Copies of this chain bind each other. A is one copy, B any other.
Amino acid sequence: MLEEGTLSMELIDGKEIAEKVLEECRRDIAHLAESGIKPGLAVILVGDNAASRTYVNAKDRKCRELGIHSVKLELDAAVSQEELIATIEECNRDDEIDGILVQMPLPEHIDESKVVEAILPSKDVDGFHPVNVAKMAMEDASGFVPCTPLGCQRLLTESGVEIEGANVVILGRSMIVGKSLALLLMQRAEGANATVTVAHSRTKNLSKITRRADILVAAIGRPRFVKAEDVKDGAVVIDVGINRIDDPEAKRGYRLVGDVDFDAVAPKTKAITPVPGGVGVMTIAMLMANTVKSARLRRAGD
């Protein structure tokens, strides 16, 4: 017999919701095509980090599937910062490119913040440029919100989770996820207006804090860190972590687990995202959505 918690638990299906986002993209792309506009994304890969290459290829493939003009620029690991920035500036000038993404991490001799600042804010579909960070903080919807927090928000709204007035606890304070999601969910806006707490490595009595969450978001990059006793009965849990752990039985010798101990936590929750198949698939869908948004804003005057 199943426990009560198990009966009511909903698995938040990232693939299904991502497909809905992509369907919206297709509709917008078809609409733009009527005006002769094809959204374009340039992805710049420096060096030959295997994981980075996998991500870049996945983005390229998704663009082609959707009918987004995809430009993959591969630069040698020894490229100078000046050459990299010159490549970005070419993309800035190219009217057919609506989005520019530099795959991180970059080699150590390159200053990542200088590179991000070289991207035209209106083409910064990753939302990492200071102008877009400020817009998010200042609740100016004309900017780009980073894809992962945007994906988390969409997972919640599509699952019918009430965000307004909810106690949201975010584990992790990175600019790419935790802090950005906090700024997003505390906005005076639909799908926001939450009471947000940001917890992190210096938080005392962490379990006491996370147990207060109606919505708990784990974004700390520690495999299965969140245990059953850290989660309130009936909470909604969003697991941003994608951690590789050794698994001799797996084909590749490893498998992916989240920041949440899924098997132990899931039965207590009202809804939870799996890893993989949760936040990860949303991130790439939101990148497509941001690229289409850029094309609409830049070229269709929407």
Which residues of A line the B interface, CB within 8 A? Answer: 113, 130-131, 133-135, 137-138, 164-167, 173, 175, 179, 182-183, 186, 188, 193-200, 202-204, 209, 212
Q: Which of B186, B204, B212 contacts A198 (CB 8 A)?
A: B186
Q: Is the CB of B197 within 8 A of A196?
A: yes
Contacts of A167 in B (CB 8 A): 204, 209
Q: Which of B138, B175, B198, B203 contacts A138 (CB 8 A)?
A: B175
Number of copies: 2
Q: Which residue of B is nearest A173, CB measured? A: B186
Q: Is the CB of B137 within 8 A of A183?
A: yes
Tell me how far the C-beta of A217 lies from the nearest C-beta in chain B, rounded to whole angstroms.
14
Given that A130-B135, A138-B133 are contacting pairs, would A195 and B175 also be in contact in the complex, using a CB cutoff of 8 Å?
Answer: no
Tell me how far the C-beta of A113 lies from the nearest C-beta in chain B, rounded to whole angstroms.
8
Docked Cα-Cα span, A203 to B167, in Å, equals 8
Q: Which residue of B is nearest A128, CB measured? A: B138
Q: Which residue of B is nearest A203, CB measured? A: B195
Most buried by B among A164, A186, A194: A186
Contacts of A204 in B (CB 8 A): 165-167, 195
Given that A130-B130, A131-B130 are contacting pairs, would A198 and B196 also be in contact in the complex, using a CB cutoff of 8 Å?
Answer: yes
